[in-house]
Amino acid sequence: MIKKLFWGKVFGVGVLFGVLCGVQLHAAQNASKIMWRVYHRPKWRDMHAFMTLEIISPNGNKRIRKMESWSKTDPKTDETKMLILFLEPADIKGTKFLLHEHKNRDDDMWIYIPAIRKAKRIAASGKAGPFMGSDFSNYDIGGGEYEDWSYKLIKEENYDGHPCWVIEATAKNKKVVKKSGYSKMVKWVRKDNYMVVRTDCYDRSGELFKRILTNRMEKIQGIWFETEMTALKLENNRKSIMRFEKIQVNIGLPDRMFSLRALK
């Protein structure tokens, strides 16, 4: 259900590839075309990284979660498997999360609970629900579907010193609104590498309520990747920061790492 979890993002990264290959873009890019490129970026075969998720309440209270993650995509089916090991806080140290993504049915998810030494199958709350209690939603992390939105180029402007397209994505129907929790998104897309640097999210009543910012991005083996992002709830000033460190890619992770047996 948390389809593509991080991987939608990770894999979608390298539209840039096309750019690097010297595809010459016309100034009057059509918004849908731009977004198609944003959604369909090349992927790595596999990845290993350390992740930190910081959840900061309006009064400055911080909750920090640290984890280590491994993931791999089947090049034939384009389905991803992922394993996360939780390191911090101490209470949940050793807890593991395993995800098998499926194209045509709900994803399988399990959690290994060290206190009872058992793995349990879990079902996620909807995509619009929060990701691990943070201000990112599962939808933000999963990336969503290109086909769900109608795109319109509103303007072009510099953002953080980079020329960007500002594109409005409106939900095509009520189902999309329900699934994503958004009626509309406005995205700032960098012209040089097709990375989204800012997303303004509008809730079901059409009110701006959340902003997602890409604070840092790195190019790893020719593919751009967001290594730090912030989600900010404008309603109450709650925010969450997600950080990736020590990223290794294309290291040849074995399939058995992602089996249910390995989880136990």
SS3 263: helix
What residue type is 211 in one-letter code? R
Considering the complex, state which of residue 35 and residue 177 has its C-beta at the smaller distance from other proteins: 177
CB 73 within 8 A of CB 100: no
CA–CA separation, 144 and 18 (whole Å): 21
Shortest Å distance, C-beta 126 to other proteins: 8
- Region near other proteins per CB under 8 A, out of 8-16, 29-37, 121-129, 149-157: 121-129
Shortest Å distance, C-beta 212 to other proteins: 18
Does 105 bind other proteins (CB under 8 A)? Our answer is no
SS3 94: coil
Place of tokens 């800012």: 198
Does 264 bind other proteins (CB under 8 A)? Our answer is no
Does 28 bind other proteins (CB under 8 A)? Our answer is no
- Residue 215 token pair: 């604070």
- Residue 227 token pair: 């290594």
Positive or negative, the CA dihedral 243, 51, 37, 207 is negative
Considering the complex, state which of residue 69 and residue 248 has its C-beta at the smaller distance from other proteins: 69
Label residues 156-193 b or e (16+ Cβ within 10 Å = b): eeeeeeeebbbbbbbbeeeebbebbbbbbbbbbbbbeb
Does 42 bind other proteins (CB under 8 A)? Our answer is no
> For the chain, what is the largest distance between any 2 Cα atoms, rounded to a whole number of angstroms?
59
Q: Which of residues 126-185 bind other proteins (CB under 8 A)?
A: 126, 129-130, 132-133, 174, 177, 183
CA–CA separation, 182 and 184 (whole Å): 5
- Region near other proteins per CB under 8 A, out of 25-33, 88-96, 145-153, 159-167: 88-96
Does 60 bind other proteins (CB under 8 A)? Our answer is no
# of chain residues touching other proteins (CB under 8 A) = 39
Shortest Å distance, C-beta 206 to other proteins: 7
In order of 107, 200, 208, the CA distances from 233 in angstroms are 28, 10, 9
Does 120 bind other proteins (CB under 8 A)? Our answer is yes
Does 85 bind other proteins (CB under 8 A)? Our answer is no
Q: Are strands 108-113 and 96-100 parallel, antiparallel or unpaired?
A: antiparallel
Does 231 bind other proteins (CB under 8 A)? Our answer is no
CB 166 within 8 A of CB 184: no
Does 196 bind other proteins (CB under 8 A)? Our answer is no
Q: Which of residues 206-225 bind other proteins (CB under 8 A)?
A: 206-207
Applying CB under 8 A, which residues contact other proteins?
Answer: 55, 57, 59, 61, 63, 86, 89, 91-92, 95, 97, 109-111, 113-116, 119-126, 129-130, 132-133, 174, 177, 183, 204-207, 235-236
